[in-house]
Structure 1
Amino acid sequence: MGTHVTLQEELRQRAMRELGINVEFTPMGSAAVLQKAAANPNSFDLYEQWSDSINILWQAGAIQPLDIDRLNYWQEINPLTKTGKITPEASIGAGDSPNKLLYVQADGSLGATPTKQISFMPYVHNVDSFGYNTNFIEQGIPYETESWAWLLDEKNKGKVALVNAPTIGIFDAALAAQGKGLMRFNDIGNMSISEIDQLFAILLEKKRQGHFAGFWTSVPQSVDFMKMKRVNIQSMFSPGVSACKGQGIPVVYASPKEGYRAWHGVMCLSSNTQGHVKDAAYEYMNWWLSGYPGAFIARQGYYISNPERSQPLMSKPEWDYWYEGKAASIDLQGTDGKVSVKAGQMRDGGSYIKRFSNIAVWNTVMPNYDYSLDKWYELLNS
């Protein structure tokens, strides 16, 4: 059970063929999938989503620890997950960097001190920002003029959408409010009650003024928003940007001067998964880091935790564009087989190292999450 961005039919068919096991995918919007998994561990064997779901699943007793010894490629997983930094010089970003949630401690809590058990298998990850249509908004300069503030700019009134995921959309909105100079956060990854009140007062006022055209719940819906010209600028995930480009919509994935909102994919084992099904689940997890899936999801702009194993399965132009930040030497296809990158184009934000060295905040379930959740639904329903 997971989201549309990774639960793709081509991967399911390939996994079944190579592993000789039956795999069923249940993709849903990110809020729905988390709610279902936390409430009912019987509803899945494996769960895959983002690291901000870990605290909720762990506290609900919905997932069980993974044994590092059963993960074939653990030693190949790069420092990003294990330390929170892609390089020693990179900014770690506010909030829950994945290393803080990774290791199961002796007292049963999760923390950054390495142990032999982990709460999730690290796999896909990326940095997110917003996408904007250059037919309507003048193209900015990456890391210099592109800013989260654009989401709240009066010039874009009525043509803005946010992602309807309470643990994600709140940070897009907070980065925008801070970037616009409307408020300051002491720690954007751990907002106080009064900061949450102030942020949602700003957003409610904007909504009353007709600033937002909608809140999308899935990647296909975000693509439709752009295609139907309902929005000119919105929160976006990389596959949505790729799909827009593949359909001829000139969407730029911004490299905000304030830094990105980062996320890390997690693959988790249901607390109820046992026996031969558990063995099959480990086989499937190991398959995800075996090379092919990493090469496949690179074509929608996602990174894998052990990229060197996927590199031989990507063409040199693909690797140079997606990982090295170099100009595409030929047209490149997305996961849907359509051209998503034209020859000569460079990846928005540059290389893997460059992008992950500029993190403002990680997707996080804050201590005041329950309070922010009420505020989020108040915003949606106002």
Structure 2
Amino acid sequence: MDTIASLFSFITTPVSWIIVQFHKLYGAVFGPDTGWAWGLSIVSLVVLIRICLIPLFVKQIKSMRNMQVLQPKMKAIQERYKNDRQRQQEEMMKLYKDAGTNPLSSCLPILAQSPFFFALYHVLSSIASGKTIGVIDQPLLASAREAHIFGAPLAATFTDSAEKVASLNADIVSVRVVTAIMIVLMSLSQFYTQRQLMQKNVDLTVKTPYMQQQKMLMYIFPLIFAVMGINFPVGVLVYWLTTNVWTMGQQMYVINQNPTPGSKAQDNYLQRLLKSVSTHGEIRGRRRRNIVRAIVAKGPDRNDNERKFIAALAKEGYSAQADGTVTKADPAVAEAEAANARRQQPKRQTKAKRQQGGAGTATADPAEGPSLEKPSLEKSDKPSGATPKQPAKPAGGGTRQSKAGQRKGPQRPKHPSSKK
């Protein structure tokens, strides 16, 4: 880890300078040598970095939305080239290129934070070793070594020996309890963030490599950070726990306010929007009107959630307009719109089912001659009201066209002696 951190030593001076500036601010309130002053300085560093990364987060969200739109095409490629893995991967890469997206986009925020993460690790490691680094001079170094968070020094790790912890004026039990709790919280927050995304903001019914990647991240990332966390100083654990909480809150806001079309989160959002319309009689907020306008513009291409929303609006007596507003509709018009929104195209039967339905009562092939059923020779003896047996329909499910002057529908069976 020290070798990796040293690769990012070029950014240690800016990181240490930012921490020192925040330390001056919080030191005036809590005292310069307290864990609150140094701990809040690290938390503020995280907040500053994440604010700078908001444009990257927006780009990540757009890329993930594009991946959702591509799900049907990706599924079609999988089915078409299921026996040719190489061709399947080539077609997938071509699809990503044409759409301008990348399946690894969800890793962008983590990759962008890596230099700051390792720079902070390098700074805290130097503090633990008693070495000045960046703008942290000897007085600041002594102050940082005295700072404790719940009894654990900022530079202590879970694997430190009792002698090293004692040199930082702490005991091994306090350090291991605090670091263990922080590692567990860090891993759980990482897992919950990814699980929240998988359960609420994506369509799990479509099995694609993108979905498999997201599932892998949900289980593997928390395990990786749990294993690596035992070597992280307390200050780095504070950093990573803070960034996980920020990511979780940021993602929760996006899921609740701008969900992915077709997801469970969109269904919940549209239900809340419908309740708001029923209460206030209008669409409040420009962002909400933009969402309704987009739904109206889709027309017949709306997903199930959007069709249900339009039908529910009509049932309440409202009609969605092209500008994203709603107006009171005539009850008859509202009922017609609700019926139109609920109308579904009938499912087309497969060829096997159509043949099975048409051949329910098979008959003899016309080329094989007349039916083998023995006809009645005592036709004249039967009562005039008797109804003769109807011949079975042809095996293809179709009916022969009637000749000119011949009555349509089932015909009387012909006598075997007939020439025709």
Q: TM-score, normalised by structure 1?
A: 0.18
Task: Tell me which structure has the larger Cα radius of gyration.
Answer: 2
More helix by share: 2
Bigger relative contact order, structure 1 or 2 (CA pairs below 8 A, ≥6 apart): 1
